[in-house]
């Protein structure tokens, strides 16, 4: 029996390619020229707009990665997501958050979020925050959205699955990740029926995945 064809999600594929492009130091213009494609084509591809497969292969060829490797590749901590753990200042007995000021992945025209300052300068400029009461999770109903997300655990334990990565956040922990990676939340606290988190999203409307 022939194997089922691999399904490519345009948003995930484009955003992962964008992060590799930035990591390799390519500007959009240089990538387009080397791949012999139009600059606007690269922009549309990175935004998750469906793109011809031959064009995708040209772009991926310059990035030295295949579309299959992009879709099946493991997430990299520090590039695709980052976890900040709650810490306690024992000298003064104060609960503190030690989040280093560092710029996130940089695009050609904007910067991503600076963790700790919650500064957003993304194309659509939309910032949304909501308190989530998390009881259980249907793993088959994952979400994706453009932009970035910061999830902060307020009470209990919050589990989050991001693509192939599963992380448990205790009270005071936070995780930062790119919303284009499919994700879902679940209550990981056996002692509580519901755990509570604060979700801060900069980007577009959430979609089912």
Please tell me the predicted confidence (pLDDT) of residue 112. 41
CA 160 remoteness from chain centre: 12
CATH superfamily of 81-208: Jelly Rolls (2.60.120.10)
pLDDT tens column, 27-86: 999 999 999 999 999 999 998 899 999 999 999 999 999 988 888 878 888 778 888 887
CA 6 remoteness from chain centre: 21
- For residues 165 and 126, the answer to whether their CB atoms sit within 8 Å is no
10-72 matches 81-208 in fold: no
Is residue 153 scored above 90 in pLDDT?
yes
Q: Which of 47-56, 101-110, 181-190, 193-202 has the lowest mean pLDDT?
A: 101-110
Domain covering 10-72, topology: 434 Repressor (Amino-terminal Domain) (1.10.260)
- Give the strands of the sheet with 165-170, arranged side by side: 165-170, 157-162, 183-187, 143-144, 207-208
Host H or E run for residue 160? strand 157-162
Higher-pLDDT residue of 89, 17: 17
Which residues does 139 contact at the CB level (< 8 Å), separation at least 6? Answer: 161, 184
Higher-pLDDT residue of 11, 171: 171
What is the share, in percent, of the chain residues with pLDDT greater than 90? 36
pLDDT tens column, 83-141: 888 766 555 544 444 444 343 333 333 334 344 333 334 444 567 788 888 887 666 67
Domain ranges of the chain: 10-72, 81-208
What phi and psi values does residue 207 have, to the nearest 5 degrees? Answer: -135, 155
For the chain, count helices (H), then strands (E).
5, 12
Please tell me the predicted confidence (pLDDT) of residue 126. 63
């Amino acid at each position: 029996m022939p194997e089922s064809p691999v399904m490519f999600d345009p948003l995930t594929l484009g955003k992962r390619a964008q992060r590799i492009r930035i990591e390799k130091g390519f500007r959009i213009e240089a990538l387009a020229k080397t791949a012999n494609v139009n600059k606007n084509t690269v922009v549309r591809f990175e935004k998750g707009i469906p793109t011809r497969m031959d064009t995708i292969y040209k772009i991926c060829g310059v990035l030295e990665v295949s579309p299959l490797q992009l879709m099946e590749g493991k997430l990299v901590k520090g590039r695709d997501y980052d976890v900040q753990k709650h810490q306690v200042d024992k000298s003064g007995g104060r609960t503190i958050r030690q989040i280093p000021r560092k710029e996130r992945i940089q695009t050609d025209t904007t910067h991503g979020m600076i963790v700790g300052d919650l500064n957003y300068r993304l194309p659509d400029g939309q910032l949304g925050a909501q308190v989530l009461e998390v009881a259980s999770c249907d793993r088959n109903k994952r979400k994706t959205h453009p932009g970035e997300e910061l999830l902060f655990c307020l009470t209990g334990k919050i589990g989050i699955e991001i693509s192939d990565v599963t992380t448990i956040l205790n009270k005071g922990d936070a995780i930062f990740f790119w919303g284009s990676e499919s994700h879902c939340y679940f209550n990981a606290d056996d002692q509580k029926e519901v755990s509570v988190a604060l979700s801060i999203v900069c980007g577009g409307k959430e979609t089912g995945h």
